[in-house]
Amino acid sequence: MNRAEAVQRIQKLREQINDYRYRYHVLNQSIMSESAADSLKHELVRLEQAYPDLVTPDSPSQRVAGRPLDKFTAVPHATPMLSLNDVFSREELEAWVKRITKLLPPGYRPEFYVEIKMDGLAAAVIYRDGGLTQGLTRGDGVTGEDVTANLRTVESIPLRLRHDVSVPAEVYRGRIEFRGEVLMYKADFKALNAARAKAGKPLFANPRNTAAGTIRQLDPSLVAERRLRFQVYGLVGEPAGVATHADEHELAGRLGLPVEPNSRVLAGVAEIMEFAREWEDKRRDLPYGTDGLVVTLNDRAALAALGVVGKAPRGAVAYKFPAEQATTKVKDIMVSIGRTGAATPFAVLEPTLVAGSTIQMATLHNESEVRRKDIRIGDTVIIQKAGDVIPEVVGSLPKLRTGQEISFKMPKNCPNCGTELVKQDKEAVWRCPNYNCYALERGRIIHFASKAAFDIEGLGEQTVDALLESKLIADAADLFHLTADDVAGMPRFAEKSAENLVRAIQERKEVTLERFIYALGIRHVGAQTAADLAAHFGTLERFRGATADELREVPGIGQVVAGSVAEWLGSRRGQEFLDKLARADVKPRPMQVARGKLSGRSFVITGTLDSFSREVAGERVKALGGKVQPSVTKETDYLVVGAEPGASKVSKAQKLGTPQIDEAALLKLLEG
């Protein structure tokens, strides 16, 4: 980027960030997630670092937002309510520790107080002679709003400080001010929105904005209904016996104020990073939201000595968890063709880090989604990634456009085979109708080898491409004729890896009927439908000969699915593929008696098991007539808990009182 482009980009970023900040802090509206906004701020800071002479005092990088609303009395804070600078990585944390260590006396070994950064709004509660006299919002940090009447309704704030004999008497005399976060618990937020939905009222966006909006209600009785909470993170002044940040929390607790309970005193970057990694996942189980940790120099005297830079203390930082949303630029929009022929537009992105991995592509789902979200080539977009899900484009930021952006047009023809794409009425999806299209065949083979189908180890997308390109296979049935010599002739394959692949394929010649049916890749036949079909027909021969009427009798199968299966079975291609698999000696394992000792029992399996994979354990359960469900419901009879189980499954089972058994108990059930 040259200087002229940087000037323009900085200007646009500032406008966008200012707009975001104003809506977020003053109007309590959320136009993008905080992590997306952070991503924009980060870009701005990087650009300003590259062109320091472009920094202006009014840049969003130089100030803290949030003007007090004029409906409450404005009250100046005793000392400013500061904000924190962010760090986003181990490197940035290290750099900060290094910087402050240099400023501390030689040989001084800093200790850090590390706590969860709560996602609410900052407030101060002031006690005089032990009684609550005033509660203020942060406002702009210098002047807050008097919300005493509202805060008095928050049950977690004591109206009088709790008496504790170990606290020096002078603490109860005169003025003491605590600062903390007003929050709404995720569960309370859900319940509130559920009630509003029932009453036909508009829903709130998120717990943080709801808490902020509630505290600014003029009617305290409304606040009282909303179940807000308060958790202290520090205090103002120098009461006797308070030498460290940890002491502040300790004192608050003794005086009856809630404090964030998960904090620790840690010695350095390594320990902080370990704690951060731990909370990156565990935070989802916290009752309130968080997007990071606060790391503070524990020694209050040293913290004070380091002073304040701008609006933030030098001796504390916010460590932000890896963003699950980020912003980046769309370099191109392309179309990929899946195994059903569906044409899926996807964005080619400037590589960016989201939730710990580099993202270069994100799905745009279908043509009408691209239009609805108005995503253009050249746009800055918000992308997000949740768990193992494919990254997606959430939306574009039109304010950042230069005018050079190009709108997306769905191509008329398949990018792989050139056949004209077709669209069935009422469907959002364009499809390549050419059954023999390379992309469709590739997709079918990948599906055939996938985990829930034939589960062929080591047969990933790249290997499928290589096999197709070297013409060693034309369809999935050909896989079973491959020899190690064939495979070893391909690029990137050595003798040993070729042997391994061929062995993995041969080992999977016999699979359950449900895997077999699922692997065929019939439209609308997912794993559950395949299981229903297998249970109903019992053998491949019976399934193969099923008529549309017979298919419609299968419990759980509707007209559309029955029609799709009948069409596939009635097609020459379908029957030929089945014949070809039979000739290759690929066949479903005969079904075990469905009326087994576990019939009528439902299982959910979570975590890693020692004796077998979850899939195999599930097959053994089903072979004895049991059912395996993806998640815990009222119908679940057992939750089988392996190592590192899914937290949501365990907590759901606890809530419903579902019996939890370990692997040994499962093995007993499967045995005798």
Instruction: Find the length of the chain.
Output: 672
> Cα(180)–Cα(214) distance, rounded to whole angstroms?
16
Q: Which of 179, 158, 162 is nearest to 235 (CA)?
A: 179
Name the residue nearer to ligand IVH (CB basis): 321 or 518. 321
Q: Which amino acid is at 378?
A: G
For ligand IVH, which residue of 37, 294, 397, 562 counts as binding (CB under 6 A)?
A: 294
Phi, psi of 243 (to 5 degrees): -105, -25
- Smallest separation (angstroms) from ligand IVH to the CB of 231: 8
- Report if residue 276 touches ligand IVH, rule: CB under 6 A: no
Name the residue nearer to ligand IVH (CB basis): 113 or 603. 113
Residue 504, Cβ density class (10 Å: 0-12 exposed, 13-18 middle, ≥19 buried): middle
- Smallest separation (angstroms) from ligand IVH to the CB of 70: 22
Name the residue nearer to ligand IVH (CB basis): 318 or 623. 318
- Report if residue 83 touches ligand IVH, rule: CB under 6 A: yes
User: In Å, how far are 91, 121, 135, 212, 643 from 152, measured between CA atoms?
Assistant: 43, 16, 8, 15, 46
Name the residue nearer to ligand IVH (CB basis): 45 or 348. 45
- Report if residue 118 touches ligand IVH, rule: CB under 6 A: yes
- Smallest separation (angstroms) from ligand IVH to the CB of 146: 18
Element (H, E) at 394: strand 392-396
Alpha helices in 184-239 (DSSP H): 186-198, 207-215, 220-225
For ligand IVH, which residue of 25, 117, 442, 620 counts as binding (CB under 6 A)?
A: 117
- Report if residue 122 touches ligand IVH, rule: CB under 6 A: yes
Residue 247, Cβ density class (10 Å: 0-12 exposed, 13-18 middle, ≥19 buried): middle
- Enumerate residues 197-256 that contact ligand IVH by CB under 6 A: 233-234
Contact 624, 614 (CB under 8 A): no
DSSP structural state of residue 421: P
Element (H, E) at 336: strand 325-337
- Report if residue 84 touches ligand IVH, rule: CB under 6 A: yes
**Total binding residues for ligand IVH by CB under 6 A?**
15
For ligand IVH, which residue of 48, 177, 181, 441 counts as binding (CB under 6 A)?
A: 181
Name the residue nearer to ligand IVH (CB basis): 295 or 383. 295
- Smallest separation (angstroms) from ligand IVH to the CB of 311: 9
Contact 433, 423 (CB under 8 A): no
**CB environment 645-669: b (16+ within 10 A), e (fewer):** bbeebbebbeeeebebbebeebbeb
- Smallest separation (angstroms) from ligand IVH to the CB of 188: 18
Binding span for ligand IVH by CB under 6 A among 311-319, 402-410, 426-434, 642-650? 311-319
For ligand IVH, which residue of 31, 104, 318, 466 counts as binding (CB under 6 A)?
A: 318
Name the residue nearer to ligand IVH (CB basis): 183 or 540. 183
- Smallest separation (angstroms) from ligand IVH to the CB of 189: 17
Binding span for ligand IVH by CB under 6 A among 114-122, 196-204, 324-332, 552-560? 114-122
466 CB neighbour count, 10 Å cutoff: 15
For ligand IVH, which residue of 17, 40, 82, 246 counts as binding (CB under 6 A)?
A: 82
- Smallest separation (angstroms) from ligand IVH to the CB of 159: 23
Which residue number places its CB atom closest to ligand IVH? Answer: 122
- Smallest separation (angstroms) from ligand IVH to the CB of 321: 13
- Report if residue 142 touches ligand IVH, rule: CB under 6 A: no
Kindly report each contact of residues 313-316 with a partner whose C-beta sits within 8 Å and lies 24 or more positions away, as own/partner: 313/82, 313/84, 314/100, 314/103, 315/100, 316/84
Name the residue nearer to ligand IVH (CB basis): 45 or 318. 318
Structure tokens at 363: 């799905």
Name the residue nearer to ligand IVH (CB basis): 234 or 239. 234
DSSP per-residue letters across 20-48: HHIIIIIS---SS-HHHHHHHHHHHHHHH
Binding span for ligand IVH by CB under 6 A among 113-121, 150-158, 278-286, 546-554? 113-121
Q: Residues 41, 98, 102, 117: which is the catalytic one? A: 117
117 annotated active-site: yes
- Smallest separation (angstroms) from ligand IVH to the CB of 294: 4
Structure tokens at 516: 């077999």
Say whether 4 sits in a helix, a strand or coil: helix
> Cα(220)–Cα(236) distance, rounded to whole angstroms?
26
Contact 370, 333 (CB under 8 A): yes
Q: Which of 566, 525, 519, 527 is nearest to 543 (CA)?
A: 566
- Report if residue 316 touches ligand IVH, rule: CB under 6 A: yes
Name the residue nearer to ligand IVH (CB basis): 121 or 666. 121
User: In Å, how far are 271, 282, 650, 670 from 641, measured between CA atoms?
Assistant: 30, 18, 8, 15
- Report if residue 114 touches ligand IVH, rule: CB under 6 A: no
Name the residue nearer to ligand IVH (CB basis): 294 or 640. 294
Contact pattern from residue 467 through residue 506 relative to ligand IVH, giving x for each residue in contact according to CB under 6 A and a dash for the rest: ----------------------------------------
- Smallest separation (angstroms) from ligand IVH to the CB of 263: 7
Phi, psi of 18 (to 5 degrees): -60, -40
Catalytic positions are 117
Residues in contact with ligand IVH by CB under 6 A are 82-84, 115, 117-118, 122, 181, 233-234, 260, 294, 313, 316, 318
